[in-house]
Structure 1
């Protein structure tokens, strides 16, 4: 019981005191996790598990799209928006078709986005 409460307190504090860059990485870690759970749900023919986790992943990307400032982001921002839109659309198709192959296409993209932001975060800490 105590270990569960301690972990919960640690988790809350890590979110409450995280920088916006760290929060972005946490969110993207969640997208990777939820997309993999969704893929597993499709494999297991667990429709509810697949659907709920695809929707969680989509919601993360909808939030990323809503907070991306395309006007101030320079040349890369519209490209990033296009990638986010592509991922959301492919997730929608994976959800409709319950297709593992589509998830196998999208998960590496999500991981690459997370890894790219993680690298950018590391580089920003050096400066």
Structure 2
């Protein structure tokens, strides 16, 4: 009974979210899946590590695909950061290397923090 209610809530929160809220959900997901992947590598759970690295890669591919690089140098720089993160995730997945995950995880968290700060500044500017 509660599971169904939660699924409806979760589905509605995605369906009715603004573009900004969806972006924040994506970057939160990237951090979550990267942390799960890192722990799975430590635990030698190859399948779980692979699945969660791929989820994180997919999020960054989506971020790259939807980034308007014609909007300035900052967008080009973000694209380069996203590409670098994806390359490191690919390498970590191939090697199942926790050190690479330790290198890339702070970058993923930084991306999340940048978008949260941008959303907060936009909200304050519109208030």
User: Which of the five TM-score ranges fits, normalised by the shorter chain?
Assistant: over 0.9
When normalised by structure 2's length, the TM-score is 0.95
Q: Establish whether residue 112 from structure 1 lines up as the match of residue 107 from structure 2.
A: no
Alpha-carbon distance in structure 2 between the residues aligned to 1:54 and 1:20: 24
2:73 to 72, 75, 92: 75
Q: 1:1-127, aligned counterparts within 5 Å?
A: 1=1, 3-71=2-70, 73-127=71-125
Alpha-carbon distance in structure 2 between the residues aligned to 1:115 and 1:52: 24
Paired residues, what number? 125
Q: Deviations along 1:64-121, whole A, 9 cap, x unmatched?
A: 11111111x2110111111001000000110111000100111111111111101110
User: Structure 1: which 4+ aligned runs deviate by more than 3 Å?
Assistant: none
Alpha-carbon distance in structure 1 between the residues aligned to 2:50 and 2:92: 9
- Across the aligned residues of Structure 1 and Structure 2, the Cα RMSD in angstroms comes to 0.8
Alpha-carbon distance in structure 2 between the residues aligned to 1:41 and 1:124: 37
Tell me how far 1:20 sits from its aligned partner.
Answer: 0.2
Q: Which runs of 5+ in 2 are unaligned?
A: none
